[in-house]
Amino acid sequence: MLAKFPGQAVYISSARYLRRCRAGALPNRERCAASPGSNSERKPNHVDQGSRLRKRIIIRTHPLDEDRVLHISSYVQEALGALLVVTVMLDVFVTVLYARVSSGIISRRVAVLTWRFFLFASRRFGDKQGAVLSFCGPACLVALVLAWAALITVGSALVIQPNLGVSIQASDGATPRDFISALYAAGSSLAVVGASDFKPRSAVFQMYFLFNSLAGVSMLSLTLTYLMQIYTALHQRNSLGFELELGTEETGDAALLLAGLGPQGQFGPVYSSLANMAAEMSRVKQSHHFYPLLFYFRFPEPYYSVSRFSLVSLDAATLIQTALDDGEYSWLQRSDAVTQFGRAALQLVTSLSETFVRPPLEIEKQAAQQPQDLWKARYYAGLEQLKQAGIKTVADERAGAELYVAQRAKWDRYIEMLAPLLGYTMDEIDPATSRVKVQGVNSTEVMRDVAYARPRDVTRSHH
């Protein structure tokens, strides 16, 4: 804000002028610039000079300051646009190329917001909640692609708009300078160089348009590659879940899986099948590590869920360690296939819980809620299934039950935290334990006698 002295061709700020008047640096004979139509002179010094000067000074903006403000605002806008473009490119890099379970800048937040929206909206559909949540995974991918495209277009438009009509001009006619025109120019430059109605007239923006074109083509190819990899990993995950479901005779009971792998106690001929399932579990774990969006793909069938087939794998590995006879099957208990089968599933549910369950205190809270009596009942029921299959079980069943409870306590809480996040109940995820719960087993003496009917014949007659 500036004021002009009569007889001088110098502009100084009004605040500085007031300070000089109060200090007596200006002579009393000088006139202050009066309001339009007024020629009144400055009065003697015995009156408060500051109060009169505030009324008589004409405050106006210097033309040089207007240009300076415009230049500064343009620089700030261009810097914000460039920062937004760089952020989007960095997110594409860490999501597609530097793939890690929690490395996304934009992608992770977009996926979480999309999931929360679907989780909130699905509650209004009652029994159809699972069907609504099944659309969340594809919707996350669509939202992510749209977010990348929109943000990089807006960022490029922020860089282009201050230069419309100067360094960037329309091919025909006057150059519009509104933001919508800048968005159109930015979107066109991201597609193909030369396809836009706006042409760069300076070397800097010619290079910028070339950069935009390369960035747009790169993002398109990387996005298509990412989508193909996501669905390839999803196919592998679903294949493992369906294979384990068939192995349990469509019951979700890990004891039936072991009974099928070792009929009459002969695990040797099918050891390679167990090793293959362990390798597939390791690949699924790595897929979720590289593509965290896989977590949001939910299917109405619970056996496709991570919680379900991870529980079957962990329960099967735990039963091998605690329910089989140590002397007869020590080679199986110490084999790499069993170790890999259990550890890969444990690492999968652990990493997913630490990434998607917030806050981490929920893990400790869930660990304190362990239905040990129910787990013992499930263990004794599993023993009966193995005995019916002709598999030699542990001699000391009480000690085996205690060991089973101790080992299950290491992984069960992760399953119970992940299941509700995807809209599943524990009855759907752990049907074997649910059947024991329905029978109302409450004491160790009754647990030992628990033996529910093997559903092999029921399943076959149903089909």
Residue 231 included in any domain: no
* Whether 206 and 324 share a structural domain: no
**Rounded alpha-carbon distances, angstroms, from residue 133 to 124, 128, 185, 328, 404:** 12, 9, 38, 46, 34
Residue 237 included in any domain: no
* Whether 18 and 136 share a structural domain: no
* pLDDT tier, 244 (very low <50, low <70, confident <90, very high otherwise): very high
Contacts for 312 with CB less than 8 Å, ≥ 6 apart: 244, 248, 252, 254, 257
* Whether 182 and 266 share a structural domain: no
Question: pLDDT tens across 276-311, in order?
Answer: 999 999 999 999 988 989 999 999 899 999 999 999
* Whether 205 and 256 share a structural domain: no
What H or E segment, with its residue span, contains residue 69?
helix 63-92
Contacts for 163 with CB less than 8 Å, ≥ 6 apart: 205
* Whether 288 and 414 share a structural domain: yes
Residue 433 included in any domain: yes
Residue from 46, 48, 64 nearest 56 by CA: 48
How many domains does the structure of the chain reveal? 3
Encoding tokens for residue 170? 């329309």
* Whether 449 and 312 share a structural domain: yes
Domain stop point among 211, 226, 241: 226
* Whether 391 and 428 share a structural domain: yes
Residue 244 included in any domain: no
Can you give the pLDDT at residue 21? 53
Residue 274 included in any domain: yes
Residue 125 included in any domain: yes
Contacts for 459 with CB less than 8 Å, ≥ 6 apart: 249, 250, 251
Domain that holds residue 346: 249-462
For every residue of 199-233, DSSP letters joined together read: EE-SHHHHHHHHHHHHHHHHHHHHHHHHHHHHHHH
* Whether 158 and 292 share a structural domain: no
Task: Out of 326-340, 341-355, 365-379, pick the least confident.
Answer: 365-379
* Whether 182 and 279 share a structural domain: no
The stretches of 123-173 forming alpha helices (DSSP H) are 129-133, 136-160
Residue from 404, 408, 388, 409 nearest 456 by CA: 388
Bridge partners of residue 164, in order along the sequence: 168
Global pTM?
Answer: 0.74
Taking the C-alpha atoms of residue 293 and residue 30, their distance in angstroms, rounded to an integer, is 74
* Whether 156 and 297 share a structural domain: no
Rg (CA), the chain: 36
Taking the C-alpha atoms of residue 247 and residue 254, their distance in angstroms, rounded to an integer, is 9
Domain stop point among 56, 83, 101: 56
Encoding tokens for residue 62? 């210097």
Residue 242 included in any domain: no
Question: pLDDT tens across 41-64, in order?
Answer: 444 444 455 444 444 444 444 555
* Whether 427 and 292 share a structural domain: yes
Residue 19 included in any domain: yes
* Whether 115 and 8 share a structural domain: no
Can you give the pLDDT at residue 455? 41
Question: pLDDT tens across 64-113, in order?
Answer: 566 677 778 888 999 999 999 999 999 999 888 887 776 778 988 999 89
DSSP state of 170: E
Residue type present at position 28: N
